[in-house]
Amino acid sequence: MKLVRYGERGKERPGLIDAEGTLRDLSGQLGDITGAILAPESLARIAALSPTDLPPVEGTPRLGPPVGQVGKFMCIGLNYADHAAETGSDLPEHPILFMKATSAINGPHDDVVLPRGSKRSDWEVELGVVIGKAAKYVSEADALSHIAGYCTINDVSERRFQGRLSGQWTKGKSCDTFGPIGPWLVTPDEVPDPQNLSLRCTVNGETMQNGSTRTMVFTVAQIIAHLSELFTLHPGDVIATGTPPGVGMGRKPEPVYLKPGDVMELEVEGLGIQRQTVRMDEAPR
Residue 164: per-residue pLDDT: 65
Q: Does residue 60 lie within any of the structural domains? A: no
The helix/strand/coil state of 194 is: coil
Is pLDDT of 257 > 60?
yes
* 272 is a domain residue: yes
Strand, coil or helix: 248: helix
Q: Is the pLDDT of residue 77 over 70?
A: yes
Q: Is residue 26 part of a domain?
A: no
Q: Which residue from 43, 35, 61 is spatially nearest to 2, judged by alpha carbons?
A: 43
* 8 within a domain of the structure (yes/no): no
pLDDT tens by residue, 158-184: 998 876 667 677 788 999 999 999 999
Q: Which of 152, 155, 180 is nearest to 169 (CA)?
A: 155
CB 156 within 8 A of CB 180: yes
In a domain, 157, yes or no: yes
122/278 Cα distance (integer angstroms):
11
In terms of Cα–Cα distance, which of 52, 61, 81, 71 is closest to 4? 61
CATH number of the CATH domain containing 179 = 3.90.850.10
pTM: 0.95
Band of pLDDT at residue 285, cut at 50, 70 and 90 = low
pLDDT at 76 over 60: yes
User: Which pLDDT does position 116 carry in this prediction?
Assistant: 92
**What domain count does the chain have?**
1
Q: Quick check: is 109 in a domain?
A: yes
Q: What are the tens digits of pLDDT across the range 46-71?
A: 999 999 999 999 999 999 999 999 99
Q: Is residue 22 part of a domain?
A: no
Write the pLDDT tens digit of every residue in 80-129: 987 777 777 788 899 999 999 999 999 999 999 999 989 999 999 999 99
Q: What pLDDT is attached to residue 169?
A: 77
Residue 99 lies in a domain: yes
Q: Is 47 helix (H, G, I), strand (E, B) or coil?
A: helix
Q: Please give the helix or strand (H or E) that residue 46 lies within, else none.
A: helix 40-47
Please give the residue range of the domain that contains residue 165. Answer: 69-280
